[in-house]
Amino acid sequence: VLVLGAGFDTTWWQLEQAGCAPTRYLELDFQEVTQRKASIIDSHPELLQPLHCPSSQEAPQDFKP
């Protein structure tokens, strides 16, 4: 799944909670928006835990600018 202009969308967490999150899910947005969302995720363990990584900054990233 590719989400363009993801903003603060929570679809992945909703799918994960329902047990049907896709194996590949990529959100794409402006750097400022993405950084703010990552900061929010990092400050809420209940959002970070399903990512299976110490911080959202260390989440798997297939795309690097």
Structural domain boundaries in the chain: 2-52
| Count of positions (residues) in the chain | 65
- Residue 26 is inside which H or E element, if any? strand 26-28
For the residues 1-5, what does the mean pLDDT come to? 93
Contact 3, 26 (CB under 8 A): yes
Per-residue pLDDT band for 64 (boundaries 50, 70, 90) equals very low
Beta-bridge partners for 27 = 3
- 60 pLDDT more than 60: no
- 57 pLDDT more than 70: no
- Of the candidates 41, 33, 32, 46, the one whose C-alpha atom is nearest the C-alpha of residue 6 is 33
Contact 40, 55 (CB under 8 A): no
pLDDT tens for residues 4-55? 999 999 999 999 999 998 888 889 999 999 999 989 988 988 888 888 766 6
